[in-house]
Structure 1
């Protein structure tokens, strides 16, 4: 089995894993939502929790998909054009990741977390 075929298989497998993580994360988010939506414990907003869980699933999947793109581009087709396309993909996915992180955590990644009061 040639090296490039092996790397392409690893990249495709990581693509599948990234998509599976997003899909599984969505299922888990909706199951958690169904579990708390009807009981509504004090202090928990079910809709906000659902959005945060979905955002986390998408973030994790995007990270794996970027890793797959990097592996394929660097190992299989290291041309200037493929590296430029990879750079554009990484920029777009980084912007999406930062947007999702702001949505999930309510702050930019470089901002400090607010101090939690001791219980």
Structure 2
């Protein structure tokens, strides 16, 4: 039979807690495992990492979509007889990337403000940040789609009896602005 090494469960849990809670990555935690302080530090640390992950994901999404949209624009512009006709699609692609990145950044703000530093002051700051980002999101959506987000169902109903090219397609307005019957 082989030698078996076993540690008391409380020591293993205390070591894991110390590694997660300590900024140094392993300094001893002065409080016992069952206390409220150690558990709070672990959850605080996890929430901080989750918020940071959302922030990195949001910024990376905006950057990658901007690069992909620029490459797509360059290809379309070189193939088109007039490169200016490809600008609306480029702006729509960029806007979609910014919207997706903003959603991730709002999630990071929610986790970071509510879970990491819960207070009435930070909740007020979160409310202002969410309002500003919601305004940006709605204004970008109007810029991309050409109509208010809550008008989508009405525009789809209005386009039902019309030819196929009048119907809503992703990235295009549901109603045409020229050549109406």
TM-score, scaled to structure 2: 0.61
Aligned residues: 118
CA-atom RMSD, angstroms? 1.8
| Separation (CA, whole Å) in 2 of partners of 1:29 and 1:23 | 10
Pair 1:60 & 2:100 matched = yes
Q: Which residue of 2 aligns with 1:71?
A: 111
Q: Which residue is equivalent to 2:8?
A: none
Unaligned runs of 5+ in 2: 1-19, 21-41, 166-181
Question: Matched residue of 1:111: which SS?
Answer: helix
1:25 matched to 2:68? The reply is no
Does residue 6 of the first structure (1) align with residue 52 of the second (2)?
Answer: no
Larger Rg: 2
> TM-score, length-normalised on structure 1?
0.92
Give the number of the structure with larger relative contact order, counting CA–CA contacts within 8 Å between residues 6 or more apart: 1
Give every structure 1 segment of 4 or more consecutive aligned residues whose post-TM-superposition deviation is greater than 4 Å.
none
Query: Matched residue of 1:107: which SS?
Result: coil
Shift of 1:36: 0.7
Deviation digits for residues 67-101 of structure 1 (CA, Å, limit 9, x no counterpart):
01101111111100000000000000000000100
When you count helix as a share of all residues, which structure comes out higher? 1
